[in-house]
Amino acid sequence: MIERVTLGKALPKEATDRIIEHTDGIPLFVEELTKTVLESGLLREQKGRYVLDGPLPLLAIPMTLHASLMARLDRLAPARDVAQIAAAIGRRFSYELISAVASMPKERLDEALDYLVSAELVFRHGAPPDAEYTFKHALVQDAAYSSLLRDRRRQLHARIAMELENRSSDLVQQQPEILAEHCAQAGLMEKAARLWRRAGHNTANRAAHREASVLFEKSLMAYAALPSSSDTLGEVIDIRWDLHHSLYPLGELARDRANLESAKHLAEGLGDEVRLSRVLSRLTYTLGSLGDLAGAVDAGERALTLAEQRNDDDVKARVNMMLARSRYGRGDYERAVGHARQALDLLHEGNGAHDATYLTFARVSARVWLALCHAELGRFDEAAVLGQEATDIARGMNDPEEMIFAGFGVGRMRIIRGNPEFAVEVLEPALAMCRSAEFQSTFPELLLVLERRMPRWAGPMRHCFYWKRPFVRRQQVA
């Protein structure tokens, strides 16, 4: 590797030994330290090899890769400023963007970029003004970036954010997280928070819930850096609502409970009954999944009272849906039927919902819980019709989450009826969808494992959907 960098010209043994000793065979380190020695001015060529004019100084070869890269950048003084600007933009950067941010004469910029390319610190693809550049390694970018003073960093990131927003509307819409990072580094925390939330929505819409949860958490951290006000606290509650819809599919139920509890306390402190009733409706669902059925019903009843006081049909529909599930878990099937029916009546089969995504969920979910309740009560014909309707609606919307849930409902209904072989027919496709997407709270997987590998549990499962223990615990047992 050393000889490849020196183009076959041998180094003095002392220099070669020092490089090998300090690099531990790490390829990038070998290359960088060799180049450091070649650029140090300590060597000269003689008869096709390099020789030392005197003893090799003790510190001629930096002891760390970072120090090596910094030493090389220091020797590239004319190009160092450009390297720093590029590092602030990112690992990859375009000629168009760096020319806008650098605000220097074209000749000077071109010379600096050529210098960085010839030094093999960055690679170039294409020719200016359409060229794209890439730092050879992330460590090279880190070294250049770390040499920036704090104020200079903030100025650069603010300029980069402004140029990105002005020049690339597609990026702002499709990858707002990139703009959010620059805004955060520039100290524009409120703008960064909103961009991260938008990025979370984009990612959640692709069912990439783990990525979405990280983006929502970044948004919350950005808001935490801002002065507290009723407006910002309201935004925080809404982001925690969004975060819930990514944590739950991941099976992160303990985190989700803490997330919703935090949103609940904030809403109570603001006296915001609209947000409070909405948060309580989802807390009902999460508590039920954790096996806290009493807590779930209490939260649901409180949410329903608040919604009725405000005559908010949309929230009443949501709360009734959650209560149907919780009442079912407690074996209170007739009251669960009443809640599910009321939810559908309030939504008028689609005319009363303000949220199209929730409308799909409600139309499928209400039928699933109605089907399960009728099955538990021995009304299998009604249950079969409702199960088929739920499946048809989910397929028509081509929504993986709703198709999984419909499959769970039909499979569970068939288990209750005593037809496990027919249950497997719908549970297996649902299980496959769970594995292909980020849906870790997988009821179908639990039921399929119970029927095939733990048949002794089939009977008890017919009588109680919940095991009187937390959902995560049920997964571990399965």
226 near 249, Cβ under 8 Å?
Answer: no
Q: What's the CATH number for 82-148?
A: 1.10.10.10
d(CA 347, CA 353): 6
Q: What's the CATH number for 151-271?
A: 1.25.40
> What residues contact 30, with CB distance under 8 A and at least 6 apart?
1, 2, 5, 19, 20, 23
Instruction: Look up residue 123 and give its two tokens.
Output: 């690679």
The packing angle between helices 176-185 and 189-205, to 10°, is 160
d(CA 158, CA 176): 15
Q: Is the pTM of this model over 0.85?
A: no
151-271 has the same fold as 82-148: no
Give 40-99 as a DSSP string.
TT-EEEETTEEEESSPPPTTSS-SSHHHHHHHHHHHTHHHHHHHHHHHHH-SEEEHHHHH
Query: Can you say whether the dihedral through the CA atoms of 465, 468, 470, 473 is positive or negative?
Result: negative
Q: Which contiguous run of DSSP H or E holds residue 125?
A: strand 122-125
Return the pLDDT at 34.
87
d(CA 23, CA 25): 5
One digit per residue, pLDDT tens: the chain, 478 residues? 999 999 999 998 888 888 887 777 788 788 888 888 888 778 888 888 898 877 776 655 666 777 777 877 877 777 899 999 999 999 999 999 999 999 899 999 999 999 999 888 899 999 998 999 999 887 788 889 988 999 999 999 999 999 999 887 777 788 999 999 999 999 999 999 999 999 999 999 888 898 999 999 999 999 999 999 999 999 999 999 999 999 998 888 999 999 999 999 999 999 999 999 989 989 998 998 888 999 999 999 999 999 999 888 888 888 898 899 899 988 999 999 999 999 888 876 544 445 565 666 678 888 999 999 999 999 999 999 999 999 998 888 877 778 888 888 898 888 888 887 788 888 888 877 776 655 555 444 445 544 444 344 444 443 333 333 333 333 333 3
d(CA 438, CA 296): 25
Domain ranges of the chain: 2-70, 82-148, 151-271, 376-383+394-478
Return the pLDDT at 68.
76
267 near 279, Cβ under 8 Å?
Answer: yes
Residue type, 416: I
30 near 1, Cβ under 8 Å?
Answer: yes
Return the pLDDT at 412.
87
